[in-house]
Structure 1
Amino acid sequence: MFDNLVVELGPWSWWLVGLVLLAAELILPGFFLVWIGLAGIIVGALSLLFWTSAFWVWQVQWLVFAATAVITALLGRRYLYNENQVTDEPFLNQRGASLVGRTATLDQPITEGRGRIRLNDTYWTVRGPDLPVGTRVKIIASNGRDLTVEPA
């Protein structure tokens, strides 16, 4: 049945596959089927050119489709998730990194390299040299949950 459909539609069967995948992207979240659908449309365009050629058998078409799907997915990912994008809020989801350069007063002493400060409404664990309560410190680095400080 599927073989008959491909034979009857000819090179347009790949266009149909591509459009079905693009339509499926509207229903299923993830923004991944777009690239596979685009690969189907590209193979459809190649099929229009090579349909009567002896080398353009279904096995070659599937190999070209698989390779094109991988290439379009990688290029699409590179295009969409470019890490070098300029933004007006570079520390949007990096709260600790946004605190680097600020000063605060120690809420608990730093003993054995660890202490606490309070910034706004949050207590932060800090690392640094041993200092008494009330000392002004400057945040010089952030590594996840802990802040590294030095005397201000």
Structure 2
Amino acid sequence: MRWDVTTWAVLALALIAAETLAPGAFLLWMGFAAAAMLLLVLLLPGLPLLAQVALFVVLSFLSVQVYRRWFRGRGRQSDRPLLNRRAEQNIGLVAPLEQAIVAGRGRIKVGDAFWTVEGPDLPAGTLVRVVAADGAILKVQEA
């Protein structure tokens, strides 16, 4: 059994297995590069160690670039993109002011929650429309 074939096989399996412990797809692609090196040393049995390491570095770089360019960020699109962004779900909502807007700040009630709002000074009870969200503060204008 050749040491270089065994080394690249073990390295490929170890990198691919390590991906399960540190998700992010980085180690997976380096594992693919090690698997490609395994095939290269099988096809070219006299390849010097320095050349093998240099090729592995180049293949690792290329495989990670392939991942970054073509696979990263191409996940499944959500049918509810605002699911975990509660403030943004309220954009377009029309509601009466619970507390008058004084010095640019007031409060509205949405469902069973109170939200701080910012906008022009208006008396309590005025209907306002949510036009934007900044963190947990809703930006409003008179409806």
- TM-score bracket, shorter-length normalisation: 0.7 to 0.9
Match of 1:62 in 2: 53
Does residue 39 of the first structure (1) align with residue 30 of the second (2)?
no
For residue 11 of structure 1, give the secondary structure of its aligned residue in structure 2: helix
Aligned residue identity for 1:20: A
Match of 1:109 in 2: 100
May I ask how many residue pairs the two structures share in their alignment? 141
Q: Deviations over 1:59-114 (max 9, x none)?
A: 2322332333333334335514337x532101122211111111112111111212
Does residue 90 of the first structure (1) align with residue 74 of the second (2)?
no
Unaligned runs of 5+ in 2: none
Q: 1:11·1:51 contact (CA, 8 Å) conserved in 2?
A: no
CA-based RMSD of the aligned residues comes to 2.3
Q: What TM-score does the superposition give when structure 2 sets the normalisation length? A: 0.81
Aligned residue identity for 2:99: Q
Match of 2:45 in 1: 51
Single out whichever of 68-77 and 131-140 deviates more from structure 2: 68-77
Single out whichever of 74-83 and 100-109 deviates more from structure 2: 74-83
CA–CA distance in 2 between the matches of 1:140 and 1:51?
A: 67
How much has 1:25 moved relative to structure 2? 3.2
For residue 35 of structure 1, give the secondary structure of its aligned residue in structure 2: helix
Q: What TM-score does the superposition give when structure 1 sets the normalisation length? A: 0.77
CA–CA distance in 2 between the matches of 1:74 and 1:125?
A: 45
Percent of aligned pairs sharing the same letter = 36
Match of 2:73 in 1: 81
